[in-house]
Amino acid sequence: MSIPKNESELTVQWLQGIFHDYGSIADFAVERVSGHTGMTASLVRLRLKFDSNAESGAPKSVIVKFASQVMPDFIYQYFYPSEHGFYQSHLADPNLIPLAKCYYSSCNPQEKSFILVLEDLNGYHSGSLNHGFTEKRLMNTVTFLARLHSEWWEKPIADAHWLKGHMIQLMIANGDYPKLALLQLSRTVQNDFLDYISVNIDKIIETAKRLQRTATEPPVTFIHGDSQFGNLFFDDNDALAAVIDWQLPARIKGVYDLSSLIGLSIPSMVRRKYEHNLLDQYLNQLTDSGVSGYGADQLRLDYSIALFYCGFRLLGACAATFNGSEEHLIWAKECLDRVQSFFEDWKIWRTVGIDQ
C-alpha cells in the first residue's frame, strides 16, 4: 500500500490498516492544526469515526505529520529519518520520556516521503517561541532533561544507526543555506549586531567548524535537540506531559538541550531572571541521579558555546522564513534581541575566539 504524502491521499482503507485493532473505521474528517505547523512539516488532525463495535480505547482523533515538499534535500536526509528512527527505537521509552503514542511511522528519503501518526494531545497545553513559559514549566522541563541525560550519560547507544549526527554538523555542512538568508535579512533589518554578523559571516562559519568537535567531546549523552516550548506539552498543573518533534536527536553534550529551552524559548528579560537557577537545577538533578565529575564551571563553558550555535540556528531559521511582513519584522527584531542579549551576557564572541 502506497504511503500518503498529504492529507488528500489519506483513505479509510489506509487508516484501517493502522487502527484495525480498535475496530472498523467508517469515516474521517481532516482539520488543519493551528499554531503547530513548523518549518519542516505539515500537520493535520483527523477526526476518526469508528463503527459501533469499536473498542473503548479507540482514538477519537489523531495528529498526522507529513513531510513538506519544498524543503532543502538535507531535511529529507536528516530530519525525517531521525524522527522515524526515534519512534521505532528502544529510546522511545514512555517510562523515561513523556511521549505522544505513535500509531504509525514511515520514511523514504529517496522519495521524499514521511508520515507520522500520533496521539492527539489536544487536552494539554503547549507553547511556542513566543509564549507558554512559566517558571514551573521551565523547572519541570529542566528536571526532565537532566533525568534523560543522566540515563545516557557517557553510555553507548545500541541500534542507533538512525542517529546521523547533530545539528551543528548539519549547520556547517549546509553553511550556504543560513549564510545567504542572514545576508538577505541584514539588508532588510537595520541592526548593528546583525551588521557585525554579516561582515564576519565567513569567520563565524570557520569558527563553527573549529568548535564543532567540542559538542562530541566527553561527557556526552542522548539529547532531544530541539527542546523549545513549541515542542513541549503540559498538564493543568504544569507537569510535563509530552515531548514531540524528535527530528534533531543526537548523542552530544546535554547543554544543547538547555540552550534550545532557555536561549530559543524565552525573551531576554525572562531568561535573565531564571537562567542561572535553571542551570543550577540541571546540575543538582544530574548529581542526584548519580552523575559525577561535571562541575558548574564546565557546565557554564559548555552552555555558552552551545548558545553560540543556538543563536545562529535561531537567526538562520528566522532569516530563512522572513517574508518582509510587519509580523515577520517584529519577530526578527525579537530574535535579534534574544541572541544579542545572551551573546553579551555570556561574552560569547570572546569565548569562541572572535574579536568584536
Residue type, 65: K
182 found inside a domain: yes
Residue type, 217: E
Which is nearest to 54 in space by CA: 24, 81, 88, 76?
Answer: 24
Sheet holding 102-108, edge to edge: 25-32, 41-50, 61-67, 113-119, 102-108
Distances (CA, A) of 206 to 105, 201, 299, 308: 37, 9, 24, 13
Residue 130 CB partners (closer than 8 Å, separation 6+): 331, 334
Same domain, 208 and 92: no
Same domain, 68 and 108: yes
Same domain, 91 and 146: no
Before 249, cis peptide (omega within 30)?
Answer: no
As given in the structure block, the three cell numbers for residue 263 are 536561549
153 found inside a domain: yes
CATH number of the structural domain spanning residue 38? 3.30.200.20
Same domain, 91 and 136: no
Same domain, 193 and 340: yes
Same domain, 145 and 94: no
105 found inside a domain: yes
Determine the Cα–Cα distance for residues 280 and 278; give it in Å rounded to an integer: 5
Task: Show which of 91, 119, 147 is a domain's final residue.
Answer: 119
Q: How many domains is the chain built from?
A: 2
φ, ψ (nearest 5 deg) of residue 223: -125, 160
Same domain, 300 and 321: yes
Kind and range of the H or E run holding 233 = strand 232-234
112 in Cβ contact with 79 (< 8 Å): no
Determine the Cα–Cα distance for residues 267 and 138; give it in Å rounded to an integer: 13
Q: What global pTM score does this model have? A: 0.94
Same domain, 250 and 297: yes
As given in the structure block, the three cell numbers for residue 257 are 538541550
CATH number of the structural domain spanning residue 280? 3.90.1200.10
* CA 297 to centroid of chain Cα atoms: 26
Domain that holds residue 47: 7-119
2 found inside a domain: no
Same domain, 211 and 346: yes
Same domain, 136 and 270: yes
13 found inside a domain: yes
Same domain, 56 and 205: no
Task: Show which of 83, 100, 119 is a domain's final residue.
Answer: 119
Distances (CA, A) of 140 to 88, 241, 269: 26, 10, 20
Give the pLDDT of the chain (356 residues) as one tens digit per residue: 688 999 999 999 999 999 999 999 999 999 988 655 456 788 999 999 999 888 889 999 999 999 987 777 878 888 999 999 999 999 999 999 999 999 999 999 999 999 999 999 999 998 877 777 899 999 999 999 999 999 999 999 999 999 877 766 666 666 666 788 888 888 889 899 999 999 999 899 889 888 989 999 999 999 999 999 999 999 999 999 999 999 999 999 999 999 999 998 899 999 999 999 999 999 999 999 999 999 999 999 999 999 999 998 888 888 878 888 999 999 999 999 999 999 999 999 999 999 76
1 found inside a domain: no
Beta partners for 118?
A: 63, 102
**Three-state SS at 134:** coil
Same domain, 158 and 253: yes
143 found inside a domain: yes
Placement of cell 497545553 in the chain? 125
Task: Show which of 119, 146, 178 is a domain's final residue.
Answer: 119
Beta partners for 46?
A: 30, 62
264 found inside a domain: yes
Sheet holding 125-126, edge to edge: 125-126, 232-234, 240-243
